[in-house]
Amino acid sequence: MTAARSPQPASSIPRDPTGADRAFLAALILLGGSYLLVLVAMLVADASYTSPSHLWKALRSPEIRFAIHLSFLTCTLTAILSIWVAVPIGYLLARWRFPGRALVDALLDIPIVLPPLVIGLSLLILFQTPPGRAIERIIPVTYAVPSVILAQFMVACAFAVRTMRATFDQISPRQEHVALTLGCSRPQAFWWVVIPEAKRGILTAGTLAWARALGEFGPILIFSGATRMKTEVLPTTVFLELSVGNLEAAVAVSLLMVVAAVAVLLIIRTFGAQESLGRPL
């Protein structure tokens, strides 16, 4: 009796593909590579248009330094707020079936599918209502730093929620049920069993929210304005520099945003990969 052959991994490619396989792989590479080629070409064009002197001049500008500090502050606060909201919403959608669940799930996609300008306009109108004006009398929001955080949060949190929903969907509820049978309450099982399992998803959600907030422009322009040294963040800096014809500074700031976003994504993904390799099989 011959031994059963081990199944070949789905991700492996035959070493001697047939002619049809070669044509199929070539078509895949051509279609996918065309997008990557345009993306790389855009970055190369940006890098070739500016110079180290332009970057240094941009970093020495008080307005741009203010925009850098405000961007990193607001993006970090937005990421923290997004995680605090995305974790409970993602857990509820993944573990519980309740009336109106499909409607809630659809509402959470509104910030993703709506044009960003609509989000900013809706926030602006919201704070013209009596409840919004009551909040404004206590804490100035519109055209102030809180409006920047709120505009970033309304869009970035939707992406964090989707990430946490997928994370909790992939975590088996068996260990949670075992913890409940051993005497743990639902909150104890959530904090001691579920959250450690969802650690990588939380890191991914926070990183995605941070990166999305860094590039947010439309809602901030409408709801916060583009006031120098007040509500100016990096995307509005690009807009302001373009509006006065300073294309070199706009490209330099754009490259700073690209470097910051890529660095954060690479660091978190590398940390997540190392963590997954360190887990017992």
Joined together, the tokens standing for residue 60 give 């020495």
pTM summary value: 0.82
Q: How confident is the model at residue 28 (pLDDT cuts 50, 70, 90)?
A: confident
**Whose CA is closest to 142, among 162, 160, 161, 121?**
121
pLDDT of 274 above 70 = no
Is residue 213 a contact partner of residue 74, using CB atoms and an 8 Å limit?
yes
Give me the number of domains the chain comprises.
Answer: 1
pLDDT band at 17 (very low <50, low <70, confident <90, very high): low
Mean pLDDT, residues 4-30: 66
Please compute the mean of the pLDDT values over residues 10-35 and round it to a whole number.
74
- Within the chain, residue ranges assigned H as helices are 19-49, 52-60, 62-95, 101-107, 110-113, 116-126, 130-138, 145-170, 174-181, 186-189, 195-197, 199-214, 218-223, 234-243, 247-277
Judge whether 46 lies within some domain: no
156 pLDDT more than 90? yes
Take residue 76 and report the two structure tokens written for it. 């970090």
Question: In this structure, is residue 237 part of a structural domain?
Answer: yes
Cα–Cα distance for residue pair 78/139, rounded to 1 Å: 18
Residue at 56 is within a domain: yes
Mean of per-residue pLDDT scores for the chain: 84
Residue 15 has a pLDDT of 58
| Cβ neighbours, 10 Å, residue 209 | 30
d(CA 141, CA 267): 33
What pLDDT is recorded for position 6? 47
The helix/strand count (H/E) of the chain reads as 15, 0
How far from 227 is each of 92, 129, 219, 251, 272, CA to CA, in Å? 40, 24, 14, 20, 38
Look up the domain containing 112 and give its range: 52-277
pLDDT at 176 over 60: yes
| Residue 281: predicted pLDDT | 33
Tokens 């690009």 correspond to: 238
**Which of 235, 230, 242, 256 shows the shortest CA–CA distance to 57?**
256
Instruction: Kindly state whether residue 7 falls inside one of the protein's structural domains.
Output: no
- CA dist 147 and 236 (Å) reads 14
87, part of any domain: yes
Spatial distance between the Cα atoms of 183 and 181, rounded to a whole number of angstroms: 5
Domain membership of residue 16 (yes or no) is no
Is 182 inside any structural domain?
yes
Alpha carbon distance 26, 201 (integer Å): 34
Would the pLDDT of 210 be above 60?
A: yes
Highest mean pLDDT among 20-24, 134-138, 180-184: 134-138
Looking up residue 248, the CATH number of its domain turns out to be 1.10.3720.10
pLDDT band at 129 (very low <50, low <70, confident <90, very high): very high
At 51-100, the pLDDT tens digits run 777 778 777 888 888 999 999 999 999 999 999 999 999 999 988 888 88
What does the DSSP assignment read for 134-148? HHHHHS--TTSHHHH
**Distance (Å, rounded) from C-alpha 140 to C-alpha 170?**
41
Q: Is residue 173 part of a domain?
A: yes
